[in-house]
Structure 1
Amino acid sequence: MASFTPGCLRIEQAQMNRHEPSYALRIEYEVANDPAKGQGVQFRLHGTIEGKTADETFFLPEDQVRPSALPRLTRMAQSYLTPPAKFAPLGSDKVYEAMFDDIQAKLSANSGDSAKAEAQG
């Protein structure tokens, strides 16, 4: 099950068989600026995977968000599992598109704000 509200994606799965992990995770994100990498998105993955507490954060520059966020989040989640268990790749639900649309809107709004501030200054 997955649900989306701006700034937060929640994903949950009950264990169906011994090869599929159970998890309850939140992916929170916000536009941020990194002094070295510029504008981008700060992500936080937290919750539980197979009863283990997960809490990971990372930053991606704006041009790397769409191609890199879901694979990186999937790898982070996989790191909490004991082989041979596999974490299915994230991204097969429409809520992920809603998340990326929200991120794009936030990045665009933030870029416009800084451009307006520079023009006024």
Structure 2
Amino acid sequence: MFEPGHLHLQAMPGLDQQEIDAHIYYEIRRDAVKGVYMHFTMKGEIDRNAFTEEWDMPKEQAFNFASDATRIAQKHGLHPRFGAVVRNHKEYDAMFEDIRQKLGTNPGDPIDLDKVIHGDS
């Protein structure tokens, strides 16, 4: 379930998924050195094993949030054969659009590829 700033991921165990009850919260932060960036907190349970993890993504990389969320979920027990942790395209699209709006970006805006490649802020 999606609401601006929060995505709740929930799946019951079955043939094509594990038991997941996790939340991804995100917000814009500003720093004199880093500039504008997105802060994420992911917490919940995978197969009833609790976890919490936080990470930051520069503005230029924030749209790759699903990849980082999947990597974190796998670190905490999600089996790679189940694919991405954010599976519902409607929720993914809504979160992507919310992040775009929060960052004030538009399709076609130029990006600093050096920041994307090297993660510099």
Q: TM-score, normalised by structure 1?
A: 0.76
Does 2:25 correspond to 1:49?
A: no
Which amino acid in the other structure matches residue 88 of structure 1? G
1:88 paired residue among 65, 72, 83 = 83
* Structure 2 residues not aligned, in runs of 5+: 106-121
Conserved 8 A contact 1:70-1:91: no
Conserved 8 A contact 1:49-1:81: yes
2:34 paired residue among 32, 37, 49 = 37
Percent identity over paired residues: 29
Q: TM-score, normalised by structure 2?
A: 0.76
* Structure 1 residue runs of 4 or more that deviate by more than 3 Å after TM superposition: none
| Aligned equivalent of 2:73 | 77
* Aligned length in residues: 103
1:34 shift after superposition: 3.5
| Higher helix content, 1 or 2 | 1
Mapped partners of 1:107, 1:78: distance in 2 = 27
Give the superposed CA RMSD.
2.0
Which amino acid in the other structure matches residue 15 of structure 1? P
* Structure 1 residues not aligned, in runs of 5+: 110-121
| Aligned equivalent of 1:12 | 10
